[in-house]
Every structure is written in structure tokens, then in C-alpha cells.
Chain A
Amino acid sequence: DTAVSQTPKYLVTQMGNDKSIKCEQNLGHDTMYWYKQDSKKFLKIMFSYNNKELIINETVPNRFSPKSPDKAHLNLHINSLELGDSAVYFCASSHSGTAIQETQYFGPGTRLLVL
């Protein structure tokens, strides 16, 4: 049973295209996150949602739009893809998102390559 799943695992696309990445968690968690990991392996938070509400929105271009249809799903839509968007995108979830000792459970990542 996969706790946090993402699709697709690989995504190769042309500059200027619009694409979506989907994430689902079956852990019953209230909070979900999107992270971007660049080529230097730096993991930076982009968004977090708690019970379908946006909680964290870091300095991310508005070409990136997260959508949470329910608390088990958090999708990421990217408009007008740019070369610099190439990275690995990780979805994660945690129980409440507010406890300092909480574990974040990460998905396997989506490797996005923009040509």
C-alpha cells in the first residue's frame, strides 16, 4: 500500500506547455505539501494545504497553482512551463501540519524536464 503517491513519475515537455502533477495520500492526514528539489538537491517548500485550505504559499510564480479537491488529494498545475522549472517535485503529507514533532511522509517524486 503506497502511503503517498504521485503521478506521473517522469514528465518531459516543451517550454510553454501547461502540465499537471497529481498527488494522493491514504494516511488520513489533514495536511499536504508540495516541495521542489533542484539539481543541487535543495528541498524547498512551495505550498501546504490543511483540510483543503491553503496555509503556506512561499514565493512561487503564479504560474504554479495548487488545487485540493479533498484532503486526500493535492494537485499541482503549472502554466507556461519554463526551463528553470525542471526539477523533482515532491508531494508530502503530515497529520496536522502544526505539531513540531510531526513526520512528513513523502511521495516518490515527479521528475520534470522542460526542453
Chain B
Amino acid sequence: TQLLEQSPQFLSIQEGENLTVYCNSSSVFSSLQWYRQEPGEGPVLLVTVVTGGEVKKLKRLTFQFGDARKDSSLHITAAQPGDTGLYLCAGANNAGKSTFGDGTTLTVKP
């Protein structure tokens, strides 16, 4: 079983601060995705990274896939209350089967 551990589990910060969330595994993944889930809703895909070392930016969010394709990070610059939610990473194997991480709950206070 491929396990994905996210850290921190909980993060509460003030609006305007920067933060980084990590997703780590001992397994190699063919791709890694980040989802955000808002209260009462299902997860929504933010990004997919495929190549080791790949960096993708989505406005204030920067995603990086580790060189060995075992880990990933999500960095948010100048966090806003609208960024509040549960962030989930998901690693896919060669067959496309995804395993989700245990999640990071982010609260951004105005």
C-alpha cells in the first residue's frame, strides 16, 4: 500500500502570511495531484504534476514535485481567507490508481 503523509495536519495563520504544506511518501508515484476541499463539498483538483522536479504555479499557489517523485509541496503566498479549506495530495501509480494523503486543514483568519 502506498501511503502519503501530509504535514502539518492543521495550520491556522493570519491573512497575508505565507505557508508551505508537505506531502511525503516512501513510494514513487507516476503523478501527484493536489485537491482542495471546502466544508460540505467534495474535493476539487488544483493541479497535477508529472515530472520529477516539476514546478507549477497557479496565481499565489506554487506546487513542486520532488526530484525522486516521492514527495511534493504546496506553497501559498500572501494567504487569504478564501484559501481556507482541506488540502489533499493524491499520488497515482502507473495504472492511474490514486491514493490520497491524510490532509492538511488550513484556516486563514482575516
Seen from chain A, the residues whose Cβ lies within 8 Å of a Cβ on chain B are 4, 35, 40-45, 48, 56, 90, 92, 96-104, 106-109
Q: What's the Cα separation between A107 and B98 when bound, in Å?
A: 17
Q: What chain A residues lie within 8 Å of B92 (beta carbons)?
A: 100, 102
* Stretch in B13-21, B38-46, B57-65, B76-84 with 4+ CB within 8 Å of A: B38-46
27 contacts between A and B (CB under 8 A): A40-B102, A41-B37, A41-B102, A41-B103, A41-B105, A42-B100, A42-B102, A43-B43, A43-B88, A43-B100, A45-B98, A45-B99, A45-B100, A56-B97, A92-B42, A96-B96, A97-B96, A100-B31, A100-B92, A100-B96, A101-B48, A103-B33, A106-B42, A106-B43, A107-B42, A108-B41, A108-B42
Seen from chain B, the residues whose Cβ lies within 8 Å of a Cβ on chain A are 30-31, 33, 37, 40-45, 48, 50, 86, 88, 92-100, 102-103, 105
Q: Is the interface of A mostly helix, strand, loop or mixed?
A: loop
